[in-house]
Structure 1
Amino acid sequence: MGRFCFRSLILTLVILTLVLSVAVTSQADEQLDSTTQIRNAIQRSIPLIETASAGSARERKCFTCHNQALAVLVLDEARQRGFNINPANFQLQVDHTAKHLKRGLENYRAGKGQGGGPDTASYALWTLEIAGQKRDEVTTAVTGYLLERDKGRPHWIRNSTRPPSMSSDANTNYFVIRALQTFGSESQQPEIKARIADARQWLLDLKPASTEERVFQLRCLQTLSADDAVQQTSVNELLKQQNADGGWSQLPEMQSDAYATGTVLVALLRSHLIDGDQPAIGKGIQYLVDTQQNDGSWHVISHAKPFQTYFETGFPHGKDQFISVTASSWATVALLLTQPKVD
């Protein structure tokens, strides 16, 4: 009887070992498959974003947030993680941005700026920041303009309303604050500190009405090193907005899309208050993988009233291409942030 029980115990242990081995192998295969899906999605997206940025630089002298700033962000994050990019095109976008600001030098010195106001100015400086550009007379003139803009107000006001990417002052304040922190001259520091202190209070008091506003309020709080408890509240609010399909929508009554999902995931993944392996992050990343088009893009319908002459950049989706390349860029960055950097 004792020998029988011993044999049964051994058999049970063998079966359990086999079951655990299969489970671990299955989990490893699943993780490998997920990583492969993400990397494939990134590799399909990069050439399209490069095409759009090159097309925009070819067709227009002016800098654009969607085709220069976000392309430089994507390509910089990609090369840090070992993905192949076209270095000549990357430099083209940086040079295109620098030339655009230089053409407006006298207007910046006069406090007039360029078309797009503080949004164009701050996005352009963000582009140069990503590329590692140093402070010079042009960047100092631009930061001087930003300090004059909306002077006497508690925060900076967006130049226009073009939802979703230009639909909240929180977006504008994130990029303006970042520009001032990065490129502000030594003599500008007292005024920079005073303006940012006012904006900080406005951001702390802000009651977000959209995903865009929640995202960039959190990004601002991160940039300003707000208390962890304040940031955690913002993180929790974003997590509550996640839809059943794993994505986020621009407004509660809308469906999930790549723009909202990409910007949320980037904000969360940049935060030190949430781990990348949390289920909400995994569901969001899978949503992006599942909704990528066969051509490597993500399609988002434009809700903005056009005021610029339409032109083709080589990116798909016709007159939806500007918001779609913006969405595709944020989606790609979100996917990239799940991948390890290489030495």
Structure 2
Amino acid sequence: MKLWIGIVCSVLASLAGDASTARIQEAATRAVAIIQKSQNNWYAKASCVSCHQQVFPALAFRAAREHGIPVDEKAAHADAAAAFGFYSNLERAAEFTYVIDPALNDSYGMIAANAAGVRPSLVTAVYARLVAARQEPDGHWETGDVRPPQSYSPFTTTAITVRAIQLYGHPSQKADVLTRVARARSWLVFPPASRDRGARVPTAGRLLGRRGSGHAPEDGHGTQSHAAGRWGLELA
């Protein structure tokens, strides 16, 4: 009797797990569709790239692909081409006049462009060099943005910028990038208390930065990067 009860409980638990996974996938599929629908008329009413309409959706679409969640690839490619097409404009990059909040804004743009499939080029290398040069002497990057959780604190800014320069730093700047990442790692592990504005908020950003800069957090858990499911975006 006890054996049958155990078998029944195991089967029910298995079915519950499957149903939960199915519900999660269904919810994620609906969410991706809603995000893509919201992008349809963005450029009919706005001329700028938006963090909530292009940057974070690009990251969400990559995560969706990695987990088997369907994405309208035609629509995603069209939006990405419009959003990240400026990475083909070397003159604009050299002038660096479209500035809102470097390094956070430009670094977010680069990691989103990477998620969308924008390959490294001289233009992306220029942007990487420009944000790299804004590193503070003690190793961190600053931001003037105060919109937690995604845009707030030197921890988040440092984490995002480290990833951006790792992705798009020019090969000739490899030594410089490694040096900057090492300085950032040191600051993330032992940040001066005087610069910890918002210590209650940026824990996730700090851990993200420590992982990205090569320092394993205390929990010892690792991360894996998944390249599958990303398409290349050719910029004319």
Per-residue CA distance 1:125-184 (angstroms, 9 max, x = gap): 111211232211210110121122245352110132223321211111111111111111
Q: Distance in 2 between matches of 1:134 and 1:60?
A: 26
Q: Distance in 2 between matches of 1:145 and 1:119?
A: 12
- In structure 2, what is the equivalent of residue 32 of structure 1? 18
Q: Distance in 1 between matches of 2:177 and 2:44?
A: 36
- In structure 2, what is the equivalent of residue 220 of structure 1? 209
Off by >6 Å, runs of 4+ in structure 1: none
The structure-2 alpha-carbon separation of the partners of 1:181 and 1:97, relative to structure 1 and needing over 3 Å to count, comes to same
- In structure 1, what is the equivalent of residue 49 of structure 2? 63
Partner of residue 210 from structure 1, selected from 200, 203, 215: 200
Shift of 1:217: 1.0
Contact 1:107 1:114 in 2 (8 A): no
Q: Distance in 1 between matches of 2:153 and 2:133?
A: 20
| Residues matched between the structures, number | 221
Contact 1:158 1:168 in 2 (8 A): yes
1:88 is the counterpart of 2:74: yes
1:169 is the counterpart of 2:162: no
Secondary structure of the 2:103 match is helix
Q: Distance in 2 between matches of 1:145 and 1:74?
A: 26
Residue type at the aligned position of 1:214: T
RMSD: 2.6
> What does 1:1-343 correspond to in 2, within 5 Å?
15-102=1-88, 105-106=90-91, 108-110=93-95, 114-206=99-191, 209-211=199-201, 213-227=202-216, 230-232=217-219, 271-272=221-222
Contact 1:156 1:172 in 2 (8 A): yes
Q: Distance in 2 between matches of 1:209 and 1:25?
A: 45
Shift of 1:113: 5.4
Secondary structure of the 1:117 match is coil
- In structure 1, what is the equivalent of residue 234 of structure 2? none
Contact 1:158 1:172 in 2 (8 A): yes
The structure-2 alpha-carbon separation of the partners of 1:32 and 1:50, relative to structure 1 and needing over 3 Å to count, comes to same
Q: Distance in 2 between matches of 1:58 and 1:190?
A: 43
Unaligned runs of 5+ in 2: 230-236
Secondary structure of the 1:232 match is coil
Q: Distance in 2 between matches of 1:231 and 1:57?
A: 44
Shift of 1:77: 2.2
Secondary structure of the 2:219 match is helix
Secondary structure of the 1:83 match is coil
Residue type at the aligned position of 1:34: S
**Structure 1 length-normalised TM:** 0.58
Larger radius of gyration: 1
